[in-house]
Amino acid sequence: MAHFAKPAEGSWTEHYPELGTGPVSYEDSISPEYYELERKAIFARTWLNVGRVEDLPRPGSYFTKELQAAGTSVVVVRGMDGEIRSFHNICRHRGNKLVWNDYPRQETAGVCRQFTCKYHGWRYDLQGACTFVQQESEFFHLDKADYGLVPVQCEVWEGFVFVNLDPNNTLSLEEYLGDLAAGLVGYPFGAMTQVFKYRATVGSNWKLFIDAFAEFYHAPVLHARQAVADESRKLQAVGYEALAYRIDGPHGMVSSWGGMAPPKDLDMVKPIERKLRSGLFGPWDRPAVEGLDHLPPGVNPARSPVWGVDSFVFFPNFMLLVWAPGWYLTYHYWPTSYNTHVFEGTLHFVPPRNATERVRQELAAVTFKEYALQDGNTLEATQMMLESRAVTAFPLNDQEILLRHLHKTARDCVERYQNDPSAPPFSVRVPAAS
Amino acid sequence: MPVFPAEFADLEPFAPWALRTEAERYAMRLSASMDELQAFYDAAFPRLEAILAYLDQFELPELPDDARHLLWLVYSLVNASFPVEVWRQPRVPDSGAASLDAVVEPAV
């Protein structure tokens, strides 16, 4: 019943033998103690995507990012020299949070020429240097040069801004993201500046929501009613098979077919989709921007004519979905405890030229929300029952390979940290299996 | 005082659906009965092509107020299409405890 070719080993999972094929435990998702280890082993030491260059449009633009899992807040700012930098969001004088508005736990953004602490008025320029100390002569041998903001490693890949909180990190962002990201270089992310962003507090471990979006085995069942009845029956009878999976070091991707944009037969889709020529896969008509005609090699790696969407899981908590009709979606999963996290889903389109194009994007955004609400609610149900420990080993099929890989990667990171807290989270980059 | 352009006077009874934000539109959908959702859908869906042809005469950022209200009404129609075409109830089934808030949306 295989519709798409699998590797010579007979399955995607066995193509990556380190993953094994046995049942897996989700103890890593239901233990407060394990979560505390993950915070130190993973979130305090890996590259985390905190935004896009478009969020920092001009010199002085800044935003703050709450990184509860890593136990800090950072400020990310474009300096007067145009460079993007990041600092721990803390004043060097008495430890007050430097940049915030009204509510100290809420993120903020804006434009400024310098940072001024609300408490005693210490000032810092946008490169982090301390430039003013209130009543400086009252201090004892204080040299402002010793009291700059604490820098955080910050690098940009294809317009995505990342930070790494480990001052000893020696792996560049490009090296860290590896071959899967290299295969995306040149995609016109920068042209897709029309943004719809959604946020939810989810009652599950962060990995469980990545699990939900890293497999489509669930789609014909959980989302059955979102297709018209005949189509839904067909989808469920056929089941789901991906075009391809790729794993490279801590990261993975799944490439999926998508016959719905546009569908072969208009009766396959709902009336609103038929009328607006849009839906889950986005507006059917590709926008006219450079770079969509010849996609970079990492997109649709199987070069399938029925390709619909590629979902990249960049460890630990960043997913990037590139859709055939020419737009992209990001997911971020920000842990807040072992069984809660904040989910962010952000749709990026080429700005619409008229109302029709704008309404097509609205349908894609609303459809995303309808699907995500279905996905989100199963998570709390799963978390609850996993915590019962009534069952402790669970089978995963070949279409769930990325789950197996995600949990293994997280466990490997924790194990390496337990063995030697000063060792880097990824001792050697695992070369890509071809 | 009409909310929509004169050509769309027939949609005036549904003016309360012309809401600026996704949060307002989604809340309106959840508070509506299926009869109300169906009535709105039945009135607005057949007018969709005419509405878009009208709105497409303008540059998006320069939409006059009455046209912008019409665009918001279409956003609500998109939202209401799910209960009517798919769920047969205002809320996504089994989504009782789940929420997903729009925190950034386009200005127009």
Domain boundaries, chain A: 12-43+178-419, 48-164
pLDDT at A331 over 90: yes
What are A276-290's pLDDT values in tens digits? 999 989 999 999 999
Helices and strands (H, E) in chain B, number of each type: 4, 1
CB contact under 8 A, B92 and A373: yes
What are A186-202's pLDDT values in tens digits? 999 999 999 999 999 99
* Domain of B78, in residue numbers: 12-87
Domain for residue B98, yes or no? no
Q: Where are the alpha helices (DSSP H) in A203-344?
A: 206-213, 219-222, 229-238, 271-276
Domain for residue B108, yes or no? no
Classify the complex by whether its ipTM is higher than 0.95, answering yes or no. yes
Look at residue A433 in the predicted model and tell me its pLDDT: 44
Domain for residue B93, yes or no? no
Look at residue A2 in the predicted model and tell me its pLDDT: 62
Look at residue A432 in the predicted model and tell me its pLDDT: 47
Strands of the sheet containing A123-124, edge to edge, are A115-116, A123-124, A130-132
Q: Is A166 on the interface with B (CB under 8 A)?
A: no
Domain A12-43+178-419: CATH superfamily, name plus number: Naphthalene 1,2-dioxygenase Alpha Subunit; Chain A, domain 1 (3.90.380.10)
pLDDT at A430 over 70: no
Report the range of poorest mean pLDDT among A31-45, A123-137, A413-427: A413-427
State how beta strands A244-248 and A251-257 pair. antiparallel
Task: Decide if A370 contacts B30 (C-beta within 8 A).
Answer: no
Look at residue A427 in the predicted model and tell me its pLDDT: 61
pLDDT at B70 over 90: yes
Give residue A159's identity as a one-letter amino acid code. G
Higher pLDDT, A294 or A431: A294
Domain for residue B59, yes or no? yes
Nearest-5° Cα angle at A332, B19 to A325: 65
Domain for residue B5, yes or no? no
A228 — pLDDT class (breaks 50, 70, 90): confident
Look at residue A116 in the predicted model and tell me its pLDDT: 96
A145 — pLDDT class (breaks 50, 70, 90): very high
Which of B75, B91, B92, B101 is best to mutate for the A interface (most A CBs within 10 A)? B92
Report the range of poorest mean pLDDT among A149-158, A227-236, A412-421, B64-73: A227-236
User: Residues A166-173: what's their mean pLDDT?
Assistant: 95
User: Residues A153-179: what's their mean pLDDT?
Assistant: 97
Domain for residue B31, yes or no? yes
pLDDT at A434 over 50: no
Pairwise CA distance, residues A145 & A394, whole Å: 56
Interface list for B 35-94 with A (CB within 8 A)? 45, 48-49, 52, 55-56, 58-60, 63, 71, 74-75, 77-79, 81-82, 85-87, 92-94
What are A338-394's pLDDT values in tens digits? 999 999 999 999 999 999 999 999 999 999 999 899 888 889 999 999 999 999 999
Percentage of residues in chain A with pLDDT exceeding 70? 97
CATH fold of A48-164, please? Answer: Rieske Iron-sulfur Protein (2.102.10)
Domain for residue B101, yes or no? no
User: Residues A133-144: what's their mean pLDDT?
Assistant: 95
B81 closest CB neighbour out of A202, A272, A373? A272
Give residue A52's identity as a one-letter amino acid code. R
* Residue A297 CB neighbours (<10 A): 13
Q: How far is CA A419 from CA A41, A415, A422, in A?
A: 11, 6, 9
Look at residue B88 in the predicted model and tell me its pLDDT: 94
In chain B, what's the furthest Cα-to-Cα distance?
A: 42
How many structural domains compose chain B?
1
Domain for residue B105, yes or no? no
What are A300-318's pLDDT values in tens digits? 999 998 899 999 999 999 9
Look at residue A238 in the predicted model and tell me its pLDDT: 76
* Among candidate residues A306, A311, A327, the one with its CA nearest the CA of residue A406: A311
User: Residues A64-83: what's their mean pLDDT?
Assistant: 97
Look at residue A429 in the predicted model and tell me its pLDDT: 54
A225 — pLDDT class (breaks 50, 70, 90): confident
CB contact under 8 A, B45 and A380: no
Instruction: Look at the block and give the residue holding tokens 């469980």.
Output: A208
Pairwise CA distance, residues B84 & B37, whole Å: 7
Look at residue A428 in the predicted model and tell me its pLDDT: 52
Pairwise CA distance, residues A161 & A104, whole Å: 23
